[in-house]
Structure formats: C-alpha cells, structure tokens
C-alpha cells in the first residue's frame, strides 16, 4: 500500500508538493477539486487505490479497480481559459513518456489524450478546470493507468476489448509508487517548459508520439461526426482533418476514433 512517504525521493521543482493518499475514494478529481477550492497549492497530488465513482471523458464511468494508478494533480497555471486543451496535451505527453521510460513499452497518443499500446487503451486523462472569462483559477489533471490487473478479468467484455494494461504488456507487475513518481517527474518537466517557453516544444514532442496523425479518423463532436485524415495539430491543441475534397477542417474537441490501421509516416502527410 502506498503512503505519502513512498514519494520522498521525487526531486521535482513544482509538482508533488503534497501527497494525499487514500485507500478508496469516489473520484480523485473530485477530492482534488475540493482541496483546490480550499486553497491547496500547485502540485498537490491525490492518489487512490480504488475509485468507486471514477470519471472518464464525456461523462462516462471510468472503471478503477485495485492495481491501477488513479491520481489527480492540482495545477494553477494562470493561463487564459483557451489554453486548457494544451494543458491536457501536456498531461498526455508526460504520461506517454513516463510509461515508455519506466516500462520500456512503445506507446502512442490518440488525440487528444488517450495513451495506446497498439490499438488498445492503457491510460487516459480527464482535465477539469475552474475558470472565469479571464483566467483559469485552477485545473485538476486526472490520470488513470491500467497497471497491475488484467482488463479481461476485471472489466466487462465490451470495455476489456479495447483495453490493455502494463501488466499484460510487460508480463510482470509494475512498481506503482515508482511509476507515480515517474509520471509526476515527467509532468513537472513538461509543465515547467510549457510555462517558461510556451507550447512549441511540447507540441513537437507530442507529434512524435501521436498515433493519430496520418490516420483516417472519425471525430464525434457536439455538432455531429466528421471524418477525414488527421494531418496536424494546431498551436492551441486542435486537430486538423483533411477532408475528401481537400479542405482542411479544425476540430477543437471531440472523441476521436481511428478508422483503419495503417503504418504511415505522418510527416509526409502534413501540410507545409
């Protein structure tokens, strides 16, 4: 069982200033939001062994059994509200780098923030922000990683079909405190660089790990579904789709589905 002492050797600049470790919660995002409203500092981390009301994107349930990493980080970036999508990309990049570096697995990022191994999802991010028209008061970045369990044993078949875990992919159990520390260290580095130097560096790295670019995709948006070839992301984190008639359309938010598997070098597909 993890406790706050498990993370003593963190060595980060900003994140991981405080750890709240729980055996079981509803949702770590909700706990972190409560702490943030009470003034919790930037970098406060909430971790739970089990979530009974884990939340995914689009109001979906996020199944969070024992053996996973369910954590949320309080951020106070002082950014304008329009920059929240970039924050989520920063989280996806940090998570992908942590899994790759710590477990030695090849991962891809499905826009905007699913971490895939092959075509199966191993981790996801839910960023929730409280803001006014001028600036973000705080954001809570929730990260869920399927780590030490087999989705086929604990998820219903329809969820298990699209899921994998670190244990399944590596054939062994992962040290959870070590993995959590690696995620926070990677996020600390990506986040600080973004605040200091802007999003350019993170976007370039994100594109290197993106499995969506170059692919035929369908994106379900609030206005309906749109299909095209994903050719790039914009500096504000939106996806650019090239339609059958050659038009390029910007998609700001939505659920992305990879339509066909194809080994393509997306760099040849991007408009110059």
| Region of 141-149, 194-202, 208-216, 229-237 interacting with ligand BTN (CB under 6 A) | 141-149
Query: Listing from the earlier edge strand, what are the strands of the sheet with 239-242?
Result: 248-251, 239-242, 224-233, 216-221, 255-258
With CB under 6 A as the contact rule, the residue among 91, 112, 124, 177 that binds ligand BTN is 124
Sign of the C-alpha dihedral, residues 220, 223, 224, 225?
Answer: negative
Distance separating alpha carbons of residues 231 and 248, to the nearest angstrom: 9
Question: Given the complex with ligand BTN, which of 48 and 136 has the nearer CB atom?
Answer: 48
Name, in order, each residue with C-beta under 8 angstroms of 156's C-beta and a sequence gap of 6 or more. Answer: none
Among 54, 108, 214, 254, binds ligand BTN (CB under 6 A): 54
Nearer to ligand BTN among residue 51 and residue 229 (C-beta): 51
Minimum distance, C-beta of residue 245 to ligand BTN, in the bound complex (Å) = 32
CB nearer to ligand BTN: pick between 23 and 267? 23
Binding segment toward ligand BTN, per CB under 6 A, in 92-100, 118-126, 129-137, 243-251: 118-126
Closer residue to ligand BTN in complex, CB, 53/80: 53
Q: Which is nearer to ligand BTN, 145 or 167 (CB)?
A: 145
In which region does residue 36 sit, left (phi positive, over 0), alpha (psi from -120 to 50) or beta (all else)?
Answer: alpha
How many amino acids of this chain bind ligand BTN (CB under 6 A)?
20
Helix (H, G, I), strand (E, B) or coil at 223: coil
Token look-up 């260290």 returns 185
State the minimum distance, in angstroms, from the CB of residue 133 to ligand BTN: 26
Minimum distance from residue 56 beta carbon to ligand BTN (Å): 3
Under the binding rule (CB under 6 A), the answer on residue 72 touching ligand BTN is: yes
Q: Which is nearer to ligand BTN, 6 or 88 (CB)?
A: 88
Cα gap 238→241, rounded to integer Å: 10
Between 63 and 79, CB nearer to ligand BTN: 63
Would residue 270 be called left, alpha or beta, if left means φ above 0 and alpha means ψ between -120 and 50 degrees? beta
Q: For ligand BTN, which stretch binds (CB under 6 A), given 1-9, 22-30, 203-211, 256-264?
A: 22-30
Cβ contacts of residue 22 below 8 Å, gap of 6+? 28, 31, 46, 47, 48, 49
Yes or no: say if 178 and 89 are a contact pair by the CB < 8 Å rule.
no
Binding flags for ligand BTN, 163-192, as an x/- string (CB under 6 A): ------------------------------
Q: Is the peptide bond before 112 cis (omega within 30 degrees of 0)?
A: yes
Interface positions with ligand BTN (CB under 6 A): 27-29, 51, 54-57, 62, 64, 70-72, 114, 124-126, 142-144
């Amino acid at each position: 069982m993890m406790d706050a002492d498990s993370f003593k050797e963190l060595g980060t600049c900003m994140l991981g200033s405080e750890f709240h470790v729980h055996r079981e919660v509803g949702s770590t995002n909700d706990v972190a939001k409560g702490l943030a409203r009470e003034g919790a500092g930037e970098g406060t981390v909430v971790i739970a062994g089990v979530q009974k009301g884990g939340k995914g994107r689009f109001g979906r349930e996020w199944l969070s059994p024992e053996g996973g990493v369910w954590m949320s980080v309080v951020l106070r970036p002082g950014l304008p509200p329009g920059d929240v999508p970039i924050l989520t990309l920063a989280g996806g990049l940090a998570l992908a780098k942590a899994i790759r570096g710590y477990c030695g697995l090849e991962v891809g990022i499905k826009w905007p923030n699913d971490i895939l191994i092959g075509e199966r999802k191993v981790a996801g991010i839910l960023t929730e922000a409280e803001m006014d028209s001028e600036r973000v008061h705080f954001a809570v970045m929730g990260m869920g990683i399927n780590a030490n369990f087999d989705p086929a044993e604990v998820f219903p078949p329809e969820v298990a079909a699209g899921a994998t875990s670190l244990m399944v992919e590596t054939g062994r159990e992962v040290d959870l405190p070590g993995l959590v520390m690696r995620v926070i260290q990677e996020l600390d580095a990506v986040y600080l660089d973004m605040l200091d130097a802007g999003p350019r560096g993170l976007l370039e790295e994100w594109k290197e790990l993106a499995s969506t670019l170059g692919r035929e995709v369908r994106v379900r948006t609030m206005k309906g579904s749109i299909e095209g070839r994903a050719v790039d992301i914009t500096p504000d984190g939106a996806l650019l789709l090239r339609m059958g008639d050659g038009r390029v359309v910007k998609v700001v938010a939505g659920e992305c589905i990879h339509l066909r598997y194809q080994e393509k070098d997306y760099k040849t597909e991007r408009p110059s």
